[in-house]
Chains A and B, each alone.
Chain A
């Protein structure tokens, strides 16, 4: 697989995550450069110029978020790396935490310098065990080497990093909800306004960035915004980590340049659909992004001009998004009704219960699908599911309700026949298959 690498630019070995190995491949030079020769505003400007977009799902420009903070306003600021990677199908941040934790630490200290942050946090999900151990080891190494703590590298800048372990709630991956988790209150997403860059953690200006977003920053400072812009597409610069799973020959985490051909990625790099089956559908960016069908994928295999590419604009125009980069491949012969049921069970289980439409709607959709699976579906159920999904679109504080709705609208729009079949016959058109045997 060719193309530029920003994060996966070294060979993974048993100790490649250690400080020694990291420094050998040029680690912490970005931090030294920033502390020695750059003003905080310059760092922020570099990130703005680089066009770096958030890698957590919403693809919000990271620099614009940072500009919401005035480093000289005298109040405490906080930076939080969101490592609560709960989106089903997504495991890309885990790669960073396991194999290159120092990239994250270096980037966070640079970011703290830019945002005048004294205390920063890594909010890591409770299920991540090895990533947690690797990260904690790296933090200790960084403290010992003077990259964290008081007076970093003699620059006069001090910064402490805390690793905060979540307790396994999906909704804590939502940035404002995560703040509640750290503060020790109930982890409910918060209303905007005020934005978190105005009132965030402990009512102070706070920036929450995804692990991958933050980890890119060291590279950008090292190589400059121009170099970053040269990678990827004009509107989506840089690379993305894609974690691909499902019915695929070689699942795993890959780093691709944005704008990479999807067909090539799927069929060459990842070895194609499992057992040579036809592609039925792809969920491109975690289950909160709309499912794309084999029909779309075929367009890209056949025509190269019209072909879909992996970048934010193209996927948006195709009616989905690159989301969190958690790609799930679904082979022909899979029962989409059962798949949707699993997705809705997840949303029902994880809804925090704050806003009415999501609290009631996710459970409602789950129970309807329960009933359809039990062979007691009713022709009106499809319409009812769509009604609930639409009622959740944009009506809640956070995006969980929307995502649950998207799953239904996309599935029903693309595979309506399967739902109708299940309801009419009381059984799956594809024998209820989820496995690809």
Chain B
């Protein structure tokens, strides 16, 4: 392996090909706007300069040579970075006060770190388009854009939708979609918002919703398909939760970003993952029901136990949205009582991308693999003499169940079926408890809770031992 010297320190380059990669991998920070590990090297921002033999060049395109000596923070390097930042900021509006990116903006950070000087220009700033609609989801502020072309390269090299490009040239250059197309064509479009080093690409959903420093992320998993992308759900920090705001604003998901995970999703997620709130924050069921009548949890539990005791042929339709822990708990205490089949909770909906080569999988449930490894892959078979069906999770049409069978329904969301079940028990969802999903590839990822379980709902792991207890006991 070639060895290079960064700031006098010998560093093994490993598999890396360029000085920037080696420096970043070994803890020497070199600022960069346009360079991104997953994208091609355009070398246009000119900020990642390093000094080599008295000559200053861009580290992102500097090939590693054995024994080369590189300075990442010399006098010359600092002077040039400072100058380059003057140019980058020349026509940037510096409207941080009303910019969603403020607080996590690379330009802001670099300005404080490497420039710190007021503008040397006296010319009025160039103006350009604000709020240009790129799609139903994204608006573009061309004034803030520093033309690093990360978004353009993303749509060409990663999502392959080829929607974005640059129009005009020189300082009139602007990012635009190609003729007659919008970013709506790209199921991965929202990644460009994260990629943007400044606040030029803005999420319409998140626009002006919150300053980012009021938020903190919790690691969770997108249940949108069997890829099981690890994501960060951003919600308000506890100290910034205000009484004047409702629970939704205080605990709800305000935005979703990818949690980089090379084994599952790399640094990307699809737009469905961004809309986690649409999947998880539907109106919740928070009261046990018996044939549509609200009852106390203890009453409902006892009724459920009686249903189990009084039936002879019991079938369970197991949820593919349940965590590994819940599935094991069911298998452990109720596995002998029920003949269990795995059912898909969700099927692809109209207009949704069913499957593609990057991330999206046809199976729209997060934990099918774990469920099938416990309960087999046999197709659902309900004998006519079935007298109890335990339906766990969504996706079952009660009309298709055997006529005489009683229905014990475990669900998390408000739905008409809840009232049709003989006994309905409300469950918690993944944002309210700890757990793991196993993705289609066998990779197990964890999700963490941050929301409070509605009063009246119960964790499935707690519920199953209660159901397994003999009827009439005080369990």
Which residues of A does B touch, CB under 8 Å? 169, 171, 186, 191, 193, 348-357, 359-364, 367-368, 371, 378, 380, 384, 387, 391, 394-397
Q: Does B462 contact A (CB under 8 A)?
A: no
Q: Are the C-beta atoms of B170 and A397 separated by less than 8 Å?
A: no
Q: A193-B63, A387-B120 are in contact. Are A354 and B44 (CB under 8 A)?
A: yes
- Hey, which chain A residues are within 8 Å of B121, CB to CB? 364, 384
Nearest Cβ in chain A — how far from B82, in angstroms? 10
Residues of B within 8 A of A371 (CB): 123
Q: Which of B44, B45, B172 has the most CB of A within 10 A?
A: B44
Q: Which of A349, A351, A364, A396 contacts B46 (CB 8 A)?
A: A396
Q: Are A353 and B84 in contact (CB under 8 A)?
A: no
- Whether the pair B46, A355 counts as a contact (CB closer than 8 A) is yes
For B294-327 the 0/1 string (1 means CB < 8 A from A) is 0000000000000000000000000000000000
In the assembled complex, 8 residue pairs joining A and B whose CB atoms fall closer than 8 Å, in A order, are A354-B42, A354-B44, A355-B43, A356-B47, A356-B146, A380-B122, A391-B87, A397-B43
Q: Is the CB of A349 within 8 A of B120?
A: no
Query: Is B415 an interface residue when CB atoms closer than 8 A count as contact?
Result: no
Rounded to whole angstroms, the CA-CA distance of A380 and B122 in the bound complex is 10
List the B side residues contacting A171 at CB < 8 Å. Answer: 169
Residues on B with C-beta less than 8 A from A395 are 46, 49, 56, 80, 84
**A364 vs B84: C-alpha distance when bound (angstroms):** 13
Interface code B98-137, partner A: CB below 8 Å = 1, 0 otherwise?
0000000000000000000000111100100000000000
Q: Please tell me if the beta carbons of B170 and A359 are within 8 angstroms of each other in the complex.
A: yes
Chain B interface, number of residues (Cβ within 8 angstroms) = 34
Contact mask B203-242 → A, CB, 8 Å, 1/0?
0000000000000000000000000000000000000000
The CA-CA distance from A387 to B122 in the complex, in Å, is 14
Q: Does A193 lie within 8 Å of B61, measured CB to CB?
A: yes
- Chain A residue nearest to B124 (CB atoms) is A367
Q: DSSP class of B's interface residues: helix, strand, loop or mixed?
A: loop
* 8 Å CB contact of B173 from A193, A359, A384: A359
In the complex, the answer to whether B170 meets A349 with C-beta atoms within 8 Å is yes
9 closest A-B pairs by beta carbon, nearest first, are: A353-B173, A351-B170, A363-B171, A360-B87, A191-B43, A360-B90, A367-B123, A391-B83, A353-B170
Within 8 A of A (CB), among B54-103: 56, 61, 63, 80, 83-84, 86-88, 90-91
Interface: B147 (CB within 8 A): yes
Partner among B61, B87, B165, B168 whose Cβ is within 8 Å of the Cβ of A361: B87
Render B149-174 as a binary contact track against A, CB cut-off 8 A, 1 for contact: 00000000000000001101111110
Residues of A within 8 A of B39 (CB): none
Assess whether B168 is in contact with A356, with CB atoms less than 8 Å apart.
no
A177 to chain B, nearest CB (A): 11
> In the assembled complex, which residues on chain A have CB atoms less than 8 Å from the CB atom of B353?
none
A348 to B91, CA, bound (A): 15
Q: Are B87 and A362 in contact (CB under 8 A)?
A: no
* Nearest chain A residue, comparing its CB with the CB of B156: A185
What is the bound-complex CA distance between A349 and B168, given in angstroms? 10
B41 contacts A by Cβ under 8 Å? yes
User: Which A residue sits closest to B174, measured CB to CB?
Assistant: A353
B46 near A360 with CB under 8 A, answer no
A351 touches B171 (CB 8 A): yes
Contact B123 A364 (CB under 8 A): yes
Is A368 within 8 A of B123, CB to CB? yes
A352 to B120 alpha-carbon distance, docked (Å): 23
A169 neighbours in B (Cβ, 8 Å): 169
| Extra pairs beyond A351-B170, A356-B45 (9, CB < 8 Å) | A193-B61, A353-B171, A353-B173, A356-B146, A360-B87, A384-B120, A384-B122, A395-B84, A396-B46
Contact among B46, B168, B170, B173 for A357, CB-based, below 8 A = B46
* Residue from the set B43, B47, B80, B168 with the largest chain A CB neighbour count within 10 Å: B43
Among B63, B88, B166, the residue within 8 A (CB) of A356 is: B88
Query: Are B84's CB and A356's CB within 8 A?
Result: yes
Chain B's closest residue to A370 (CB) is B123
Q: Quick one: closest B residue to A186, CB to CB? A: B166
Which chain A residues border B171 with CB–CB below 8 Å? 348, 351, 353, 359-360, 362-363
> What chain A residues lie within 8 Å of B123 (beta carbons)?
364, 367-368, 371
Q: Write out the residue numbers on chain A whose beta carbons fall within 8 Å of the beta carbon of B120.
A: 384, 387
User: Of B43, B88, B126, B166, which contacts A353 at CB under 8 A?
Assistant: B166
Partner of A364, one of B42, B44, B90: B90
Q: Which of B164-210 contact A (CB under 8 A)?
A: 165-166, 168-173
Cβ of B61: which chain A residues have Cβ within 8 Å of it?
Answer: 191, 193
Residue of A nearest to B172 (CB): A353
B-chain residues with CB within 8 Å of residue A191 when the two chains form the complex: 41-43, 61
List of A residues within 8 angstroms of B84 by Cβ? 356-357, 391, 395
Bound CA span A422–B306, Å: 100
Report the bound CA distance from A371 to B124 in whole Å.
11
Does A356 contact B46, Cβ atoms closer than 8 Å? yes
Task: Provide the bound-state CA to CA distance between A364 and B166, in Å.
Answer: 21
Q: Which of B45, B47, B170 contacts A363 (CB 8 A)?
A: B170
Q: Which residue of B lies closest to A359 (CB)?
A: B171
Give CA–CA (A357, B90) in the complex, Å.
10
- For the complex, give the distance between the alpha carbons of A384 and B166 in Å: 29
B68 to chain A, nearest CB (A): 14
A437→B121 CA distance, assembly (Å):
37
Whether A356 lies near B87 (C-beta < 8 A) is yes
* Interchain nearest-CB distance for B166 vs A (Å): 6
CA of A354 to CA of B43, assembled, Å: 9
Shortest Cβ distance from B99 into chain A, in angstroms?
20
- B126 proximity list for chain A (CB < 8 A): 363
A193 vs B168: C-alpha distance when bound (angstroms): 27
CA distance A352 to B47 in the complex (A): 18
Q: How far is the CA of A352 from the CA of B56 in the complex (A)?
A: 23
Min C-beta distance of B180 to chain A, whole Å: 19
